[in-house]
Every structure is written in structure tokens, then in C-alpha cells.
Structure 1
């Protein structure tokens, strides 16, 4: 299964405001943990690949970085530009980045580069200066994650879409991400555990937040909007705790590397 990058907006951009406000804020733990490990500081030139609604860029700028980003969804890029009008944020293809060689000190991608997008790793390497730092994250061991229930509605997608999703997350398997980065020239490759927790006020809030994502759109295409929301609310109803938010701890794996 292949996807033209220009089609990504169909799934990811359809509810851009919902994604930016209901889903993405929970990623702050992931973003800030990787920024800390990458030692982002004043004067760093940073590129975020598959930047989505741009929250990671906004947080990097708070650490003093000069930021650029790219995403395939014009509607998510519109949100990112609204959040960070001073940043250089473009709509485009992460496998053909529109910046010269050696443009950045740091490059990140938060669950945006997958086992199915190897060409993006080559481009990430190209736009880093010698000595530049790279940090990417992918889903980790989902079956062992206590919050795996929160991803279950994605399995309502059609079998070809599910097979493609499985190929995407293969990058988190033991040795796979390390081999990919090393093969493309990176050194000092390290695997790290990255904190990640989704939190939602109630089953309805969870269903709406989940429906704003690309994998949810694949499921909605297969079973319909009503069936997807019903399944999501039912999954969350079993996790309700009096006086506490719904909370889903999910394994996320990070890779840190250096361009020699």
C-alpha cells in the first residue's frame, strides 16, 4: 500500500483544529523529553519533519531554537503557522525536503518517519550539518502497553490499511531503527524510552480526539463515523475512574543519532 504525500491531508487535515487542541497537547511529554535529550538551546537551527499542527516547534522555540517545519497537510500547517508565525513552516514532501544540505543543527520527527518512509531518513541526514543531532520517535511495544486499549479502534480499518500500519510501526522493533539510521550514515545511535500518556476528560472527549487522527480516518472510511465513535466510547467506558481523567500509557521509542 503506497500513499501520495499530497493525500495525507485527507485524513490528517479533516479535523485539524480538533487534533491540535484535543489530541496533540498530550504529546508534550514526548516532545519535551526528546528536546531535553537533544540539548536544544539558544541559537540551534531546528527542523521538525511531519510537524503536524506545530506544537513541537512552539516548544522548541521556547528553548531558544530557530525553527522550521514541514508537513504534507496544508490544514495542519495552517495551525502550525498560526502558533509560530516566526517559523519557516512549509507544505511538502518529507522525502524531498526544500532546504539545502547542512541547513540545520537539529532535526526531529515525532512519530512522523516510519519503516515505510526510509527516503525521509536520507533527507534528514542531508539537511543536517556535520555534527548535527537527530531525534525521532516511533510507537514502541504496543501489545505490552497498559494504554493499548486507546489504540484499539484503529483496528476497525480495512485489512490493507492494517497491514500498512503494521509495516509502519516495525521501525520500533529491536534493532530495526538502529540499523536504518546507521545504514544512512548516522553514528552514536541510541534507543531510548520516551514518556507518553494520553489523557481525556470522558469517553466522548476521547472519541472525538481519536477521530481527529489519520489512522482513525482509515477506520472511519471502513466502518463509518457513527460506528467508529460508538466503538471508541465503548472502549473508554470500561476505563472510567471516578474523579480522574481517562489515562492511557503507551510505549514510545526514541532514537538519538549524530551526523559525523
Structure 2
């Protein structure tokens, strides 16, 4: 669901780069869908609620990954489509929602006509390194259409920052790129991008996000399914990554309670201008 600019839902930096996303995000698609993605439910439900998703909305989820957000939007009555760069994650998404129009492709060249959707969402799939995707999102929205995006916020000050620390085992260039990716969470950054792309009524909101796991081993296994983990494993090897993540999580074990990592996630809600009539 991501790109060589790795981040959780399938961002794409350039046309050739998006085809490599499956290496990082799709190689453990089943583990991602069952161990990692369910922790995103708070985020998905909160944004759908704020957007008022329901019948008869036509909704597109960009960087849809394994399609859990699509499944939840369909439960609210929306007619759904999705796109992701990982064929293996798209296979899971199609299995979950066989009636949805879910495609493998580049979010910088969405394969739908202008004004095809009432709502577009993207859950940590648009990054500071992929701002051009917003123009395509605006193109496929109807006049007055709604958009909801989420991005990582102030991760370092989050109580659950420890859960992302293993990603820093990647080489220095990739760690620096990860920092550039999360830049849209900085104050004013997302608002400026949406305004520049032609969106109006832009609102920044706090989105609930918590990772919870039963034990350190499950945490490490879930973390290993993500793109940033793949970058770290390219540097230190999978066994070392899993051991380090497991040991770090052991320091957070609480008797009778799950491992819990609340992380700051920022949401942006906006809409396209209404059509002006003479």
C-alpha cells in the first residue's frame, strides 16, 4: 500500500517508483491485514464519522492497502472504490469487499473520470513527499465533494513513540526521507497544501490512534509487515529487527493489560468548491 517513499497506505513518488511498493508493503499482506491494520479502526471510524459517510455516497479510498477502511465505509452504506500500489494488498481488499471497485495503480494517475466521487479518503497515504496526488484527488471529486486525510502528527512527543523507534534502524538516507514524509503533520503544512490545490473549508482535527498488542512477539511480527520496517530490515536483517522490536516492547509489558502505544495522528477535512452557476 505504499511506495519507495514508505509510509502506511501506499504513497507513490514517481511513476516507476510505485511499482516497487509491493516489495515493502505487500510481502506479508496477510499478516498486515490481520495483525497491523485492525489497530487503525479508531482512525477510520473517526474520519468517516466526521465526513458523514453514508448512503448514497460514492467513496474512493486512496492508498487503500488491505481495504479495511473500505469495508467500514461500505458498512455505513457508501458505494466504494479503492486504489493501492501493492497487488498483494489489493487482493486482500478485493476479498474483503468483492463488490467494490478496487484497483492496482498510481495515485498520481487515478483511473477514474472527473467528478466520479462524493468523498475521497486517504489514511496516512498522502505524504510530504507526494503532494501532487492531491490534484488527482480534487479532479475525481464532484463540486462540493468532501476529502478526509490523515497523517502522522508529533510522533516524538507521543506516548507510543517507542513503537516506531525500530524504524530508525534503516540507513540514514531512508530515515531522513521518513522525516520528510511526515512533514504534512506540521502546523500549517497540510492546510497550505489543500488550499494550494483548490480545497476550501479546511479543518485540522485530532484523530484517535492507538496500537494495541497482546505480547511483544505479536507486536514485532505486526511491525515487520510495514514499509518502514522493510527499510530497516534491508539494513540490519529480519532476525535482528524482530529481536530488537521484541526486546523494546518487553519494557512496556503491563500485567493484565495489552501493550498500548497511542501515537499522534492529524486529520484534515475539506471540500471542493461548489459549482458556480450563472
- Using structure 1 for the length normalisation, give the TM-score: 0.99
**Counterpart check, 1:53 vs 2:66:** yes
Which runs of structure 2 are paired with 1:1-260 in the superposition (5 Å)?
A: 4-260=17-273
Report the aligned-residue RMSD. Answer: 0.8
Measured in 2, the distance between the counterparts of 1:210 and 1:120 equals: 26
Q: Return the offset for 1:202.
A: 0.3
Q: Return the offset for 1:118.
A: 1.1
Tell me the SS of whatever aligns to 2:99. coil
Question: Which structure 1 segments of 5+ residues have no match?
Answer: none
Measured in 2, the distance between the counterparts of 1:169 and 1:211 equals: 20
Measured in 1, the distance between the counterparts of 2:107 and 2:179 equals: 20
Q: Return the offset for 1:155.
A: 0.4
Tell me the SS of whatever aligns to 2:132. helix
Q: Structure 1 segments of 4 or more deviating over 2 A?
A: none
Tell me the SS of whatever aligns to 1:137. strand
Tell me the SS of whatever aligns to 1:118. coil
Cα deviation 1:11-48 (Å, max 9, x = unaligned): 00000000000000000000000000000011100000
Q: Return the offset for 1:121.
A: 0.5
Measured in 1, the distance between the counterparts of 2:90 and 2:67 equals: 7
Q: Return the offset for 1:196.
A: 0.3
Cα deviation 1:222-258 (Å, max 9, x = unaligned): 0000110011011100000011110000000000001
Measured in 2, the distance between the counterparts of 1:60 and 1:41 equals: 7
Cα deviation 1:119-170 (Å, max 9, x = unaligned): 1100000000000000000001011100000000000001111111111000
Tell me the SS of whatever aligns to 2:21. helix
Tell me the SS of whatever aligns to 1:134. strand
Number of aligned residue pairs:
260
Measured in 2, the distance between the counterparts of 1:258 and 1:57 equals: 20
- Using structure 2 for the length normalisation, give the TM-score: 0.93
